[in-house]
Structure 1
Amino acid sequence: MTTNEDAWSGTVAKKSRALLDGSNLYRRLNIRLDDGTHVDVKVDRDLWNQLEVGDRLVKEAGEKPHRA
């Protein structure tokens, strides 16, 4: 997982959601970064619903991820 202070850009490789603790639905994206590595990122429902595999995502340090 990334922290809020990280900055990165990449494409959505996989979308997933799960009830990991039995009561809260967590939405995660697996992002293929521009350098070829992969990171998992938790996102809110609105962003998760907007994105599809292959969409480009950018995150600035201290900000939330957003579509590029």
Structure 2
Amino acid sequence: MSHDAWEGTVAKKSRGLLDGSNMYRRLKIRCADGSTIKARVGKDLWNSLEVGDRVVKRAGEDPVKQ
């Protein structure tokens, strides 16, 4: 599975000020094949998701809640 396109469920949500000035929001996604990936997402999507929600990322597009 390419990191340009993936789908899975939210395993963990995290955020932090990694450089001291910009808030980064990350999701840990568990894919159907059991692998996990980390994805950086925008504030609106991050706020709308809970652990267990499905997320889809198509090549060339932003991730969306499914």
Deviations 1:7-54 (A, max 9, x none): 111000000000000000100000001111000000000000000000
Identity of aligned residues (%): 65
Q: Select the residue among 3, 15, 18 that pairs with 1:17.
A: 15
1:31-42 matched pairs, under 5 angstroms: 31-42=29-40
Structure 2: stretches of 5+ with no match in the other structure: none
Aligned length: 65
CA RMSD of aligned residues (A): 1.2
In the superposition, the TM-score normalised over structure 1's length comes to 0.91
Give me the whole-angstrom Cα distance separating, in 1, the residues matched to 2:53 and 2:19. 28
Give me the whole-angstrom Cα distance separating, in 1, the residues matched to 2:25 and 2:11. 14
Give me the whole-angstrom Cα distance separating, in 2, the residues matched to 1:9 and 1:34. 8
Structure 1: stretches of 5+ with no match in the other structure: none
Extract structure 1 runs of 4+ deviating beyond 3 A: none
Partner of 2:24: 26
Give me the whole-angstrom Cα distance separating, in 1, the residues matched to 2:30 and 2:7. 8
Would you say 1:64 and 2:62 are equivalent positions?
Answer: yes
Partner of 1:8: 6
